[in-house]
Structure 1
């Protein structure tokens, strides 16, 4: 039986579960909440490495509240989380509130999307992408991984 490790969006704890249970609405072994809430999770400097360390791919949206394109892109990113979980986890990192993480990844324009799996950067894209372009880019990145 193949298992994966991923994080709980409620309590932040890591959970190990069989891959055949991903679509069965699994619950966190610690807080008993649904592991996949279908919404982007907020990243901080304290939890960022744990979030991107998931066995599932993690798409991170580096954004800021003052950024117009970031605000326009937010509903599409939220819809992506609803549609793609549990195949993919979606995380948002506010570059103004968490400058040390943004600096670590040399974020110079926002929004910037980065795709990770097990802490390894798989791909990066800048700009508020239309849904079709975003999905096409995601598929190409996941197939190469």
Structure 2
């Protein structure tokens, strides 16, 4: 009997149950859709989070969640955005990549002691397990995630 994992939809932020072996299938071979909104659970792009969805993704997801804490005025953040999106395509479905605008949601940045941006934080079942600051390329992001135990 396969283990059932909780995966939070990047679109409607509802928690879905997914058989664990479906996550290990080769990319593009298995389509997993949300039971509520019927959109793909893995779209190959970072989820955009706000205060409510941040809590749902970080605390309810059974896969690691890597959050890019950024702001629209930050040049390095804007430079890293395409690389972060490319890393999402590489790392899904074993890891969820997400973005949180610290200017729009400063309380979350303060709660997690974000002192510089961009900062990426990996969460596993609600707890921070790794952190890195500074803009990285897609290969470096993927390497950091794998080294930190995310994939």
TM-score tier, shorter chain, comes to: over 0.9
Unaligned runs of 5+ residues in structure 1 are none
Structure 1 runs (4+) deviating above 4 angstroms are none
TM value normalised by structure 2: 0.90
- Aligned residue among 102, 107, 110 for 1:103: 110
Listed one character per residue, the Cα deviations across residues 11-64 of structure 1 (whole Å, up to 9, x for unaligned) are 110001101122411111112111111111111111111111211111100000
- Aligned residue among 16, 41, 52 for 1:35: 41
Q: Conserved in 1, the CA contact under 8 Å of 2:63 and 2:96?
A: yes
What does residue range 36-115 of structure 1 map to in structure 2 within 5 Å? 36-53=42-59, 54-115=61-122
Unaligned runs of 5+ residues in structure 2 are none
Residue 134 in structure 1 maps to residue 141 in structure 2: yes
For residues 83 and 133 of structure 1, the distance between their equivalents in structure 2, rounded to whole angstroms, comes to: 12
The 1:61/1:104 distance shift into structure 2, 3 A limit, reads: same
Q: Conserved in 1, the CA contact under 8 Å of 2:84 and 2:141?
A: no
